Amino acid sequence: MITERSWGKRQFGHRTRLALTPAQVRVMDDQAHAARTTWNLLHDWWTMLSKDKRSLTAADAAIRQARKDLDWLAILPAQAAQAVLKTYVQAWRNCWDGHADAPNFKSRVRCVMSVDIPQGRDLNVVRVHRRWGMVNIPKAGRIRFRWTKDLPVGKRADKENRITGARLVKDALGWHIAFRIQTLQANPQPHRGVEVGIDAGVNLPLALSDGNHFDHGRPARLPDGAADRDKWLTPGEKTKLLHLEQRAAQRKSFHKRGERASNRLRNTYDQIKRLRATATRRAVDWQHKTTTEIAKQYSTVVVEQLTITNMVKSARGTLEEPGRNVAQKAGLNRSISQEAWGRTVTMLTYKLAQRGGTLVKVPAPGTSQRCSACGVTTPGNRKDQATFVCENFDCGFQANADWNAARNILHLYRIGHLAIPAAGRAVVGRARRVKPTAAW
């Protein structure tokens, strides 16, 4: 029997696509532009005033006055404008705490179009069909959305299980709504699965120390060694993307610097963005399914602590000291970025925690060059990208390079050799020290 102490609140998000009419799309675009302008006006007002005159009350009064003076700002709901102020103040707090840079101006081209709905009671979410639901968007009306997950609405909603708010976000595929959900769930029991080490690679996305692996069925690198930039697209989509990129380059040749891009060029860019967004959506879907399967099967997952930003740095060098194999390194950087190892680790962290498991990080140096059978470390052990052959004459161990690295990762955890967390961050996991095995 589960006691009252075994329950806890959980907050998570659920994102789904909206089905908007052309008129509703224009309304949502206008609200997003108004929210971005409100941020910029607030940023100018905040930075121009002296510190002794800055306050939430004065900022709120300034936003109310701006909505009265500028009629097109009033299309943004009042609660959404207050959410902009709350987000802006929190951005400064994150800057003062050293967690982020100072907030700055939001460009119309580079910023993400979004609108916040801070109160869940304004949404009035109902399910009307097996695959569709209806949500109320302030000043836009009732809008359909894809029902892909059971939400706490109607009789299932109460004080502990409810939708607390939402955020409208636009990408290349259209407008989406991200619900903020709060539920009361039983705290997970300790996971009874086994421990496993995981090595993230390019040729083999995820190699496990027990011999299993997870592959998305799309080669990260072509047979000739070149990087496949669009491995998540079908052959027909790749051909279409190539034609669109050629068309964009041809139309851009007639575009002068500083002039506004033509409608045809912008339309071509939009089509390219939609194909890129489709590839990203498929990659994220594969990562979600794969990490869920791993979290269900294993109790402790051990990964390397990788500094991905350093791994994808350019090898171009300088004029005095030019780099070597720049094109090959650029292809490898694209392959690493497409695998999105950091996103995989993030998914594993919270999915393991939901099921009573743990994610642990260990130092990365030497795991790919060390023999998991005898412990000899030498660069010559790696014969190529996928083959590991130990050069120790008394050993001669041969295996897949990624599987060998996964075994080394798990062994580092078992001997208690954990990665030191960065300053100001919590420890990801806690390892228990065990005696080394006979084979290294």
pLDDT digit string (tens) for the chain, length 440 residues = 444 557 888 888 899 999 999 999 999 999 999 999 999 999 999 998 888 888 888 888 999 999 888 888 989 999 999 999 999 999 999 999 988 889 999 988 888 999 999 998 889 999 998 899 999 999 999 999 999 888 888 888 888 889 999 999 999 999 999 999 998 888 888 888 888 988 888 878 888 888 888 888 765 554 444 445 678 888 899 999 999 999 999 988 888 887 888 889 999 999 999 999 999 999 999 999 999 999 999 988 998 888 778 777 777 776 677 777 777 777 777 877 878 888 989 999 999 998 889 999 988 887 887 887 787 777 776 767 777 777 777 777 777 888 888 888 888 888 887 777 654 343 444 443 333 333 33
284 closest CA partner among 370, 152, 171: 171
Other C-beta atoms lying within 10 Å of the C-beta of residue 31: 22
Residue 316 C-alpha from the chain's centroid: 28
C-alpha angle 92-96-98 in degrees, rounded to nearest 5: 115
Other C-beta atoms lying within 10 Å of the C-beta of residue 22: 7
Question: What are the start-end ranges of the H helices in 49-178?
Answer: 56-69, 78-96
In this structure, are residues 114 and 167 in contact, taking their beta carbons and an 8 Å threshold?
Answer: yes
- What lies within 8 Å, CB to CB, of 128 at 6+ separation is 134, 144
Question: What are the start-end ranges of the H helices in 97-200?
Answer: none
CA distance 136 to 68: 25
CA distance 38 to 59: 11
DSSP code for 93: H
Residue 38 C-alpha from the chain's centroid: 27
Tokens describing residue 64: 């109310």
| Domain spans, the chain | 4-186, 194-225+278-414
> Thinking of the domain 194-225+278-414, which architecture would CATH place it in?
2-Layer Sandwich (3.30)
The pTM score is 0.81
CA distance 188 to 183: 14
CA distance 323 to 315: 5
The Cα-based distances of 64 to 41, 51, 82, 121, 271 in angstroms read 12, 21, 9, 23, 39
CA distance 50 to 47: 8
